[in-house]
A and B are shown apart, each in its own frame.
Chain A
């Protein structure tokens, strides 16, 4: 691939034109690390792009950035938001268009070695630039509630809070929600990740209602624990990219559809995997050597 393609991203935009009344800037955060922020950002970005929305994903976790890895775009990064702000390149040059899904672009926030440069105003400026060109701007927030979080939160109007059915993740999510609410970010919606129906049924894991009772947020999606997530991460191909039948991939696609306002019923984790079709499907996916 040659670098000149960067300049052509806007003109090369294909797919169904989406006329959204307002572009949406959405923070994807969790407080606790390792609950699936980056995975959700990558999958949601791909799913939204596939549904025809012009989508940008911004990796605000630039100290430990790995959104580019999940999207398989690591080796294409030349410039970052840092250079855009410094005026040494145009935004179009820094945006990395996805290989298979041209509606999706990645903007890496910066060089991992330059942690100090970014301020909330910088972030607002960057997101403002992106919002001019895209329908959806997804911002992958770093873990924690320190400066990285504050920078990312300063630039967003909406938020998705990712949590897992664990006490520690729910506690941290609760803290983050409190902070988001003081910033008047809304709506704040919840994605419950890594749900294990069997453990929930045996009451070895917090139930969906336990989590929603505490966090008191509208539930945008339930994502089942799925080995394919690890496979897709290592390959750099989000699950939503190829329309796999994996439960997590479908859940991410449904999150994207609900985010766009479609009515998609939530999966009931207690019934998940018990139907005959699901069992057959699992059997067919099982590799027997």
Chain B
């Protein structure tokens, strides 16, 4: 695999050199650039698309010398690797950081910012509706409902109906000290509550696993407020 030389679309714009994505068998940068620039007799400015490569100041200096042999002048570096951009900036090149969703998964928005706390038991007929995460300090009695855009957390007995992720967030969870609901809903999935008596002393959580609602002992990391 070689670096990909893209000539400037019109005069005034720099040429571009794209480094391939890093893999287990990719060659070092100078070799790739040599391959990529074979037969190129361009001239003028060049922008390096460094992708996820980590390049030091030394690497960039070597690259400049390689490019000079083809009458090309390195003027800027773009990529997702911040350290490469720092090195490029250090030698006076323009830089731009690409945000790469795949390489750096955006952290799930933390629940604590839009947490709604209900102090006291929800009784039959009550319906707590919350955009973010609902934390009930008390029981959710049979006949009561909790709907939350995020998680439903019950510091007490959940015996009513709980709907987590009611706007479609299938990663939402329902956690309760005693999880014996009439009905559970997560995103679009609906399940009846378990009928056997709960194991004593376990905090339980329900979440979606392969499209089905599954109840497990709650993870020790609960509540999930610390990132």
Contact = CB atoms under 8 A, between A and B. Distances in A.
A171 B143 contact: yes
A218 interface: no
A34 interface: no
A172 interface: yes
Contacts of A178: 122-126
A216 interface: yes
Nearest to A213: B157
Contacts of A139: none
B129 interface: no
A216 B124 contact: no
Given A214-B141, A216-B139, A175 B124 contact: yes
B142 interface: yes
A275 B123 CA distance: 38
Interface string B145-174: 000000000000101000000000000000
Contacts of B122: 178
B71 interface: no
A171 B124 CA distance: 6
A175 B121 CA distance: 11
A46 interface: no
A140 interface: no
A172 B124 contact: yes
Contact of A216 (B121, B125, B126): B121
Contact of A177 (B123, B139, B142): B123
B6 to A, nearest CB: 68
B221 to A, nearest CB: 30
B180 to A, nearest CB: 11
Interface string B60-80: 000000000000000000000
A174 interface: yes
Nearest to A31: B124
Interface residues of A, number: 11
Contacts of B125: 174-175, 178
Nearest to B143: A171
B119 to A, nearest CB: 12
A214 B122 CA distance: 10
Interface in A136-179: 167, 171-172, 174-175, 177-178
Nearest to B126: A178
Interface in B120-141: 121-126, 139, 141
Interface string A198-224: 000000000000000110100000000
Contact of B123 (A167, A175, A213): A175
Contacts of B159: 214
B155 to A, nearest CB: 15
A172 B142 CA distance: 10
A214 B142 contact: yes
- Of B124, B126, B142, B157, most A-chain CB atoms within 10 Å: B124
A172 B143 CA distance: 9
Contacts of B121: 216
B139 A174 contact: no
Contacts of A214: 139, 141-142, 159
A167 B123 CA distance: 14
A181 B142 CA distance: 17
Interface string A116-138: 00000000000000000000000
Nearest to B159: A214
B223 to A, nearest CB: 24
A174 B157 CA distance: 15
A181 B120 CA distance: 11
A175 B125 CA distance: 6
A174 B142 CA distance: 9
Contacts of B123: 174-175, 177-178, 181
A18 B139 CA distance: 41
B125 to A, nearest CB: 4
Interface in B85-144: 121-126, 139, 141-143
Q: Enumerate the 4 nearest inter-chain pairs by beta-carbon distance, A residue then B residue, closest first.
A: A178-B123, A174-B124, A175-B125, A175-B124
18 contacts: A171-B142, A172-B124, A174-B123, A174-B124, A174-B125, A174-B141, A174-B143, A175-B124, A175-B125, A177-B123, A178-B122, A178-B123, A213-B157, A214-B141, A214-B142, A214-B159, A216-B121, A216-B139
Interface of B: 121-126, 139, 141-143, 157, 159
Given A171-B142, A175-B143, A216-B121, 10 more contacts: A171-B124, A174-B142, A175-B124, A177-B123, A178-B122, A178-B125, A213-B157, A214-B141, A214-B159, A216-B139
